[in-house]
Amino acid sequence: MVNSKNSTINLYNHTASEWVRRQPLSLSDFTARPIVLEMCEPLNQLQVLDLGCGEGYCTRELSRRGAAQVYGIDVSQKMIEAARLQELENPVGIKYEVGCATNLQQFGDEEFDLVVAVFLFNYLTIAQTQECMTEIARILRPDGRFIFSIPHPCFPYMREPGYPFYFQVEGTGYFSKRDQLFPGQIWKRDGSWLNVQLIHKTLEDYFNCLRMASFNTMPIIKELRVTSEHIALDESFFSPLLDLPLHLAIQVSK
Ligand SMILES: C[S@@+](CC[C@H](N)C(=O)[O-])C[C@H]1O[C@@H](n2cnc3c(N)ncnc32)[C@H](O)[C@@H]1O
């Protein structure tokens, strides 16, 4: 079993400053986050929790789009410091705390209308994903929504490692490499990149965890990809990934 939490804290404490941004920079700022944020609408007057909020890129956007109160939780102290600094520079009332997504005891039952987790679960094992989703179900109001994005579980097995996005899974192993941790990189349009990680889980793993956490309604699923708009914007950046399933965005309700 990987010591995923220490590895994650170490990675993000060392790279927090590289994540800070006020406009879309990395590949998934174009191919994933805009769609996830759109799925979160309407946000008016909602109590929202952004789990694995990082330096607050999506958290700030959830607030800007009208949420009544947004909380951001991240396991990395440096990511939370970077988020708080931006809140200090431009206060919008977001509350950021260091915390682990598998234990949300600081929040009461049925406190939130919406829980969002943008690329959090690729840092959690199957057991941790189960714990986290059970906690999310506890803190969501009846009819509350849970929206999350993950790397498409098939993506790493469909492409050799390379620019502008990969996870280095080495060969096949969609089923046999469950719960193993793989390094990856995702590029920004300026030519720099971010180091990321993947604890591989199959689609079945994700949906078993949701069901065990008692999310029993039909999910909304979007398989996120490079579109013609991306190609028109920057063909050399996006075209190596054309026609590949990059990420999944999933919405379930309690
Ligand atoms: C890929 S980054 C995404 C950050 C942010 N959601 C965004 O979209 O910019 C993943 C984040 O999840 C956080 N994370 C990983 N494991 C966590 C855990 N167990 N509890 C809370 N945060 C965690 C990392 O520290 C990191 O900031």
CATH topology of domain 4-152+201-232+241-253: Rossmann fold (3.40.50)
Ligand 1 centroid from CA 79, angstroms? 9
The residue nearest atom 16 of ligand 1, judged by CA position, is: 123
pTM recorded for the entire structure: 0.98
Q: What phi and psi values does residue 226 have, to the nearest 5 degrees?
A: -75, 130
Q: If DSSP codes are grouped into helix, strand and coil, which group holds residue 219? A: coil
Pocket of ligand 1 from Cβ distances under 6 Å:
5, 8, 12, 52-54, 57-58, 73-76, 79, 100-102, 118-120, 123-124, 196
Q: Which residue is listed with tokens 């007057």?
A: 45
CB 60 within 8 A of CB 94: yes
How many Å apart are CA 55 and CA 73, to the nearest integer?
Answer: 10
Ligand 1 centroid from CA 70, angstroms? 16
Angle of helix 126-139 relative to helix 203-212, nearest 10 degrees, comes to: 40
Atom of ligand 1 nearest to the CA of 28: 8
Indicate the domain borders of the chain.
4-152+201-232+241-253
pLDDT value, residue 3: 66
The residue nearest atom 11 of ligand 1, judged by CA position, is: 52
pLDDT value, residue 1: 42
Kindly give the confidence (pLDDT) of every residue in the chain, 254 residues in length, as a single tens digit, with 9 standing for 90 and above: 456 788 899 999 999 999 999 999 999 999 999 999 999 999 999 999 999 999 999 999 999 999 999 999 999 999 999 999 999 999 999 999 999 999 999 999 999 999 999 999 999 999 999 999 999 999 999 999 999 999 999 999 999 999 999 999 988 999 999 999 999 999 999 999 999 999 999 999 999 999 999 999 999 999 999 999 999 999 999 999 999 999 999 999 98
How many Å apart are CA 155 and CA 168, to the nearest integer?
Answer: 11
Give 86's Cβ-side CA count (13 Å radius): 23
CB 82 within 8 A of CB 60: no
Dihedral sign for Cα 211, 215, 216, 217, please.
negative
Residue 112 has which token pair? 């939130």
